[in-house]
Structure 1
Amino acid sequence: MSTATAALRAAIHDALTTDTALAAILGGAKVYDEPPRHADFPYVTLGEARVSDYSAGDETLQEHQLTLHAWSRQGGHKEAHMITGALLQALDDAPLSPDGHQLINLRFSLADIRREADGRTYHALVRFRAVTEPA
């Protein structure tokens, strides 16, 4: 993973753990890189990251495709949709400041909400696209 991706993930984590609307839905700042073994539902995890060169001319740019996962066991799809909406409100076009890098943009790209095979857990995959350059 690039240093820009690590810095961007840290900035996203900070933004989400301080977002009061998301915390109200989750019942606290339950945003994890790796969830605790017996994490209480609902919660959000930082997921996969894909980085590619997005340079143009003399500009050194990186494109990041980041996935967040929301996990719920209450209220059917409704809670998963509410968490997804809170993630979009908190992050879409957010003015984050990743350490050592400048965020050009951060935009929502896709959400997929489904019931897991256990029949109880709802899982939302929420993907964002970001572009960064060195500061």
Structure 2
Amino acid sequence: MPAAHVALRAAIHAALKADTALIAALGGAHVHDEVPRDAAFPYVTLGDGGISDISTDDGDVQEHRLELHAWSRQGGHKEAHVIAGALLAALDDAPLTPSGHRLVNLRFAVADIRRERDGRTYHAVVRFRAVTEPLS
């Protein structure tokens, strides 16, 4: 994955771990790039992403697609909605500074919340779109 995407994910991860509303909704800094085996519910994971080159004559520009996943069990559907809302509030148009790149924008795209097959776990998928360009 290109350096811009890695830097953007790192900036998002750091911002989420520092967001007091999200941490309160999760009951702690339960934000993971990769889920630990013994992760306690609720928690958030950084999911899949993609990147496209949308460069112009003016310079290199990259568009990023990012997924965040919120997992809830005891708090059910309501808790999943609260966490998804906290993710949206923390990241939509956030002034992040990915290392070596300028974040042009970071925008919420869509969120889906559903009950998993086990009947007791709720899963929210929150998608964002970002645009970056390298620092001069």
What does residue 88 of structure 1 align with? 88
* Structure 2: distance between partners of 1:26 and 1:100: 31
Q: Quote the residue 2:78 is aligned against.
A: 78
- Deviation, structure 1 residue 26: 0.3
TM-score norm. by structure 1 comes to 0.98
Deviations 1:89-129 (A, max 9, x none): 10000000000000000000000000001111100000000
Match of 2:66 in 1: 66
CA distance in 2, matches of 1:101, 1:53: 14
Q: Deviations over 1:53-86 (max 9, x none)?
A: 1112232100000000000002321000000000
Quote the residue 1:33 is aligned against: 33
Structure 2 unaligned segments of length 5 or more: list them.
none
Question: Which sections of structure 1, spanning at least 5 residues, go unmatched?
Answer: none
Partner of 2:119: 119
Q: Number of matched residues?
A: 135
1:106 match: 106
2:10 — aligned with what?
10
- Which TM-score applies when normalising by structure 2? 0.97
Q: Percent identity?
A: 72
